Amino acid sequence: MENKKVIFSGMQPSGSLTLGNYLGALKNWVKLQSEYDCYYCVVDMHAITVPKEPKDLRKNTLEVLANYIAAGLDPKQVTLFIQSHVSAHAELGWVLNCLTYFGELGRMTQFKDKTKRLESSSIPAGLFTYPVLMAADILLYQADLVPVGEDQRQHLEITRDIAQRFNNRYSETFKVPEAFISKDGAKIMSLQDPSSKMSKSDSHENAFIILMDDLDTIRRKLKRAVTDSEGVVRFNDDQPGVKNLINIYSKITDKTTDEIVASYEGKGYAQFKDDLAEVIIGEVRPIQERIDYLLKNKDYLQEIYSYGAEKAEAAARKTLRKVYKKVGFIPK
Ligand code: TYM
């Protein structure tokens, strides 16, 4: 146990998880759970960087936890917890805020995308300093690796910069973590616009599939997925819609993209999309059944997140104590 490398990752409870969250991150988390000492968090504090109804936040937080377990994470093997239960995240976040520069936060592409259409008077400061809290999440656990999708790469870079800066200023304290991003499927694209990533905040509901979509909805969304006029199932950049669908197929079945293309030679998109819908359904149906079961057993979920918070708290406090000492705070 002691010699295992540490993994930390998290997801925002900003709605139900999408197929992008699942194939880009969660499915990999499950694969890594026995080999590493894993901390998987529901980052509810990140979710309030944009306005959120309290009752929705509560519901989504439990749903995400249920999604984690239903997708195959074993609460006995990994530490599953809710970010706001471990106050060290906010505490380290503050210290790191004082080491992070306005300019570098302003360069975050996700911040720029999210605030494109907003006046500065309506941009919450928390949205700006979001990556610093994310750095605190990761650095508290001395994580070696952070399994995420491609869209989080820049946040991992700034986490590394902040860790190195602290280490240089105050002496070696933090492990400098690495992003762990799978080669294919690290970016699942929108089914309606294959140039943008699949996201649950997309205004077009056919653009994304959520793990909790009912089976007919999945079939319908696949039928409407944007392709092109070529009519041939091929894996290339000129056919981004089809390429994305092949990627999804490949991530779920573990077949190579070449194998998939070969098996659709001479067949059109309709057949391919119908088959892919069934492939997705085959993957998500058992997960949905487990989610339903878990959400009816809230006591069980509570047991898991309480136990997880205790374990996470112990690890996080250890790091925070060191940090407080190094910056010069007097112990109580
Ligand atoms: P979030 O909640 O947006 O997404 C959770 C995870 O899903 C991945 N992901 C995708 N992967 C492939 N294709 C997509 N279309 C897609 N959409 C989302 C994300 O890359 C991510 O791995 N800032 C993080 C949450 C966070 C975090 C952390 C992550 C907070 N603290 C510490 C790692 C470590 C976020 O908003 O992820």
Residues with Cβ within 6 A of ligand 1?
A: 8-12, 20-21, 24-25, 43, 46, 134, 137-138, 146, 148-149, 151-152, 155, 186-188, 197-198
Q: How confident is the model at residue 2 (pLDDT cuts 50, 70, 90)?
A: low
Asked if residue 169 and residue 313 are part of one domain, the reply reads: yes
Asked if residue 310 and residue 276 are part of one domain, the reply reads: no
Dist. CA 297–CA 127, nearest whole Å = 34
CATH of the domain at 273: 1.10.240.10
Which mutation among 9, 11, 52, 201 tests ligand 1's pocket best, with the greatest number of atoms within 8 A of CB?
Answer: 11
pTM, full prediction:
0.96
Q: Is 114 annotated in the active site?
A: yes
Q: Say if 155 falls within a structural domain.
A: yes
Which mutation among 152, 153, 174 tests ligand 1's pocket best, with the greatest number of atoms within 8 A of CB?
Answer: 152
Handedness of CA 160, 57, 206, 254 (dihedral sign): positive
Give the pLDDT confidence of 149-168 residue by residue, as tens digits.
999 999 999 999 999 999 99
Q: Say if 208 falls within a structural domain.
A: no
Q: Say if 54 falls within a structural domain.
A: yes
Q: What mean pLDDT, rounded, does the chain reach?
A: 95
Asked if residue 102 and residue 16 are part of one domain, the reply reads: yes
Query: Which contacts qualify for 300-304: CB closer than 8 Å, 24 or more apart?
Result: 301/62, 301/65, 301/66, 304/65, 304/69, 304/75, 304/80
Asked if residue 234 and residue 90 are part of one domain, the reply reads: no
The residue annotated as part of the active site, out of 5, 52, 59, 114, is 114
Residue 226 class from Cβ within 10 Å (0-12 exposed, 13-18 middle, 19+ buried)? middle
Asked if residue 304 and residue 229 are part of one domain, the reply reads: no
What does the pLDDT read at residue 251? 94
What does the pLDDT read at residue 135? 98
Q: Say if 197 falls within a structural domain.
A: no
How far the first Cα of the chain sits from its last, in Å, is: 32
Task: Specify the DSSP class assigned to residue 189.
Answer: B
Give the pLDDT confidence of 28-80 residue by residue, as tens digits.
999 999 999 999 999 999 999 999 999 999 999 999 999 999 999 999 999 99
In the predicted model, is pLDDT for residue 185 greater than 70?
A: no
Asked if residue 232 and residue 100 are part of one domain, the reply reads: no
Q: Say if 167 falls within a structural domain.
A: yes
In the predicted model, is pLDDT for residue 256 greater than 90?
A: yes
Question: How many structural domains is the chain composed of?
Answer: 2
What separation in Å is there between the alpha carbon of 267 and the centre of ligand 1? 35
What does the pLDDT read at residue 182? 83
Q: H/E element holding 145?
A: strand 145-147
Taking alpha carbons only, the member of 24, 60, 63 closest to residue 291 is: 63
In the predicted model, is pLDDT for residue 183 greater than 80?
A: no
Q: Among 12-26, 55-69, 311-325, which stretch is predicted with the lowest mean pLDDT?
A: 12-26
Asked if residue 254 and residue 121 are part of one domain, the reply reads: no
In the predicted model, is pLDDT for residue 14 greater than 90?
A: no
Give the pLDDT confidence of 93-139 residue by residue, as tens digits.
999 999 999 999 999 999 999 999 889 889 999 999 999 999 999 99
What does the pLDDT read at residue 303? 98
What does the pLDDT read at residue 15? 80
What separation in Å is there between the alpha carbon of 231 and the centre of ligand 1? 33
Mean pLDDT of 258-269: 95
Nearest CA to ligand 1 atom 31: 134
Asked if residue 106 and residue 227 are part of one domain, the reply reads: no
Phi and psi angles of residue 8, each rounded to the nearest 5 degrees, phi first:
-130, 140
Whether the CB-CB separation of 232 and 258 falls below 8 Å is answered with no
Residue type, 140: L
Q: Is 251 annotated in the active site?
A: no
In the predicted model, is pLDDT for residue 21 greater than 80?
A: yes
Domain enclosing residue 29, as ranges: 6-186+298-327
Tell me if residue 210 falls in helix, strand or coil: strand
Asked if residue 158 and residue 33 are part of one domain, the reply reads: yes
Atom of ligand 1 nearest to the CA of 152: 20
Q: How confident is the model at residue 16 (pLDDT cuts 50, 70, 90)?
A: confident
CATH of the domain at 11: 3.40.50.620
Asked if residue 124 and residue 261 are part of one domain, the reply reads: no
